[in-house]
């Protein structure tokens, strides 16, 4: 099923997973993680795509596995820096044969050396337009958006103008970059709606559980850290269990607040840690049952 059809009926719960670098870990992901995540009846599970191609085969195989062995729809990520039209065609045909009906079209992060990537599609909107022109009936399209603006964008206004172009190129819904400050998301949502972006915008949330991970995320995304979270993380820097507990409680509050504000869905960056997701889901067991129920 296409995810926009689900979004027309209900709020969606979804998880992101990534293909492990080592082949042997892929087996664990498939056998354990996906099975455990499926217990929460996610509407879809998205599978990331190594922009420089090294985990590509695994991404498509994992998306196929989700389609065949779970009740969730797979959302296959596809980044254009690593693909020319022939490669995009090959992947789309493989996904179509496997009845995978949803693609998250992305540009991917640009390596410093322009010789390292393809230049056929410069932006996610061009990739979505190409696929939709050649495979219009086969796929629905998601795109990425950035509540605290994409790091390369000169301003939020410019970023939102390009976001509108993504909607115009045929994207059906957006998933946000992770953020820790819900107010930043609400401000962005307001600006996006004012600019004529009408499609669903699903907040993407990452439960953080260690200091290194938090710092890494800030560097990559530029996400602001609320003072309270920063203080907790500074104070319990060397206490792994305390940080996990704080991460789960903070993220539970973040999700409850988003639910109270009637967002279109919740997308959790699982980092392949189903144990973490389990604790989070049990913290909001009753609220989640109501919020994600069929309309
Ligand atoms: P674009 O939409 O092309 O935007 C990139 C920049 O160009 C922005 O600054 C934008 O304002 C600007 N821009 C957009 N359109 C135009 C235009 N037409 N003309 C001029 N400027 C324009 N990366 C991976 O490698 N693999 C993944 O699986 C992956 N999954 C992700 C999932 C989510 C939900 C998110 C939020 C990000 C993900 N990323 C992934 C990271 C993403 O590839 C990077 O953030 C990348 O730098 C930008 O990708 P994009 O699709 O947003 O690019």
Distance of alpha carbon 62 from alpha carbon 38, whole angstroms: 14
**CA-175 nearest atom, ligand 1:** 34
DSSP, collapsed to helix, strand or coil, labels residue 15 as: strand
Q: Is the Cβ atom of 211 under 6 angstroms away from ligand 1?
A: no
Q: Kindly report the protein residue whose alpha carbon is nearest to atom 41 of ligand 1.
A: 108
Q: Kindly report the protein residue whose alpha carbon is nearest to atom 47 of ligand 1.
A: 109
Q: What is the pLDDT of residue 111?
A: 80
Provide DSSP, 85-135.
HHHHHHHHHHHHHTT--EEEEE--PPPSSGGGS--S--SHHHHHHHHHHHS
Q: How close is the Cα of 154 to the center of ligand 1, in Å? A: 14
**CA-204 nearest atom, ligand 1:** 34
Q: How close is the Cα of 249 to the center of ligand 1, in Å? A: 30
Q: Which CATH class is domain 3-291?
A: alpha beta
Q: Is the Cβ atom of 43 under 6 angstroms away from ligand 1?
A: no
Q: What is the pLDDT of residue 29?
A: 87
Query: Which structure tokens are listed for 161?
Result: 């103008």
Q: What is the pLDDT of residue 57?
A: 62
Q: What is the CA radius of gyration of the chain?
A: 18
Q: What is the pLDDT of residue 81?
A: 87
Q: How close is the Cα of 289 to the center of ligand 1, in Å? A: 32
Q: What is the pLDDT of residue 69?
A: 95
Is residue 170 within 8 A of residue 129, CB to CB? The reply is yes
**CA-178 nearest atom, ligand 1:** 36
Give the active site residue among 16, 73, 148, 244. Answer: 16
Q: What is the pLDDT of residue 295?
A: 72
Q: Kindly report the protein residue whose alpha carbon is nearest to atom 14 of ligand 1.
A: 162
Q: Is the Cβ atom of 147 under 6 angstroms away from ligand 1?
A: no
Q: How close is the Cα of 124 to the center of ligand 1, in Å? A: 6
Q: What is the pLDDT of residue 55?
A: 54
Q: What is the pLDDT of residue 51?
A: 57
Q: What is the pLDDT of residue 196?
A: 98
DSSP bridge pairs for 102 = 140
Q: Is the Cβ atom of 169 under 6 angstroms away from ligand 1?
A: no
Element (H, E) at 202: strand 201-202
Q: Is the Cβ atom of 51 under 6 angstroms away from ligand 1?
A: yes
DSSP character for 196?
Answer: T
Q: Is 94 a catalytic residue?
A: no
Q: How close is the Cα of 290 to the center of ligand 1, in Å? A: 33
Q: How close is the Cα of 75 to the center of ligand 1, in Å? A: 16
Is residue 170 within 8 A of residue 198, CB to CB? The reply is no
Is residue 47 within 8 A of residue 267, CB to CB? The reply is no
**For each of the chain's 295 residues, which pLDDT tens digit applies?**
999 999 999 999 999 999 988 878 888 888 899 999 999 999 999 999 875 555 556 889 999 999 999 999 999 999 988 789 999 999 999 999 999 999 999 999 888 787 777 789 999 999 999 999 999 799 999 999 999 999 999 999 999 999 999 999 999 999 999 999 999 999 999 999 999 999 999 999 999 988 888 889 899 899 999 999 999 999 999 999 999 999 999 999 999 999 999 999 999 999 999 999 999 999 999 999 999 997 7
Kindly list the domain boundaries of the chain, sorted by start residue. Answer: 3-291
Query: Which residue pairs, CB below 8 angstroms and at least 24 apart, start in 109-117?
Result: 109/51, 109/81, 110/81, 111/52, 111/81, 116/52, 117/51, 117/52, 117/81, 117/82
Q: Is the dihedral of CA 240, 147, 49, 39 positive or negative?
A: positive
Q: How many residues does the chain have?
A: 295
Q: Which of 24, 26, 87 is nearest to 52 (CA)?
A: 87
**pTM of the predicted model, to two decimals?**
0.97
């Amino acid at each position: 099923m296409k995810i926009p059809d689900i979004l027309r009926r209900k709020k969606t719960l979804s998880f992101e997973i990534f293909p492990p670098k080592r082949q042997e870990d892929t087996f664990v992901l498939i056998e354990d993680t996906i099975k455990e995540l499926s217990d929460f009846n996610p509407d879809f599970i998205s599978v990331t795509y190594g922009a420089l191609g090294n985990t590509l085969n695994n991404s498509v195989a994992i998306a196929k596995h989700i389609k065949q062995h779970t009740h969730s729809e797979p959302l296959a990520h596809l980044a254009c820096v690593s693909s020319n039209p022939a490669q995009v065609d090959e992947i789309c045909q493989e996904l179509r044969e496997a009845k995978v009906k949803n693609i998250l079209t992305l540009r991917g992060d640009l390596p410093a050396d322009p010789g390292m990537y393809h230049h056929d599609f410069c932006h996610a909107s061009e990739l979505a337009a190409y696929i939709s022109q050649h495979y219009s009936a086969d796929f629905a399209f998601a795109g990425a958006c950035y509540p605290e603006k994409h790091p390369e964008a000169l301003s939020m206004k410019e970023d939102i103008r390009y976001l509108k172009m993504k909607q115009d190129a045929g994207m059906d819904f957006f998933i946000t970059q992770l953020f820790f400050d819900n107010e930043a998301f609400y401000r962005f949502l307001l600006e996006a709606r004012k600019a004529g972006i009408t499609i669903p915008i699903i907040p993407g949330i990452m439960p953080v559980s260690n200091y290194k991970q938090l710092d890494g995320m800030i560097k990559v995304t530029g996400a602001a850290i609320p003072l309270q979270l920063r203080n907790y993380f500074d104070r319990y820097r060397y206490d792994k269990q305390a940080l996990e507990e704080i991460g789960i409680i903070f993220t539970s509050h973040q999700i409850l607040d988003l639910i109270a504000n009637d967002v279109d869905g919740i997308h959790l960056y699982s980092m392949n840690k189903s144990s973490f997701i389990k604790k989070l889901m049990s913290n909001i067991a009753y609220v989640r049952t109501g919020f994600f129920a069929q309309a």
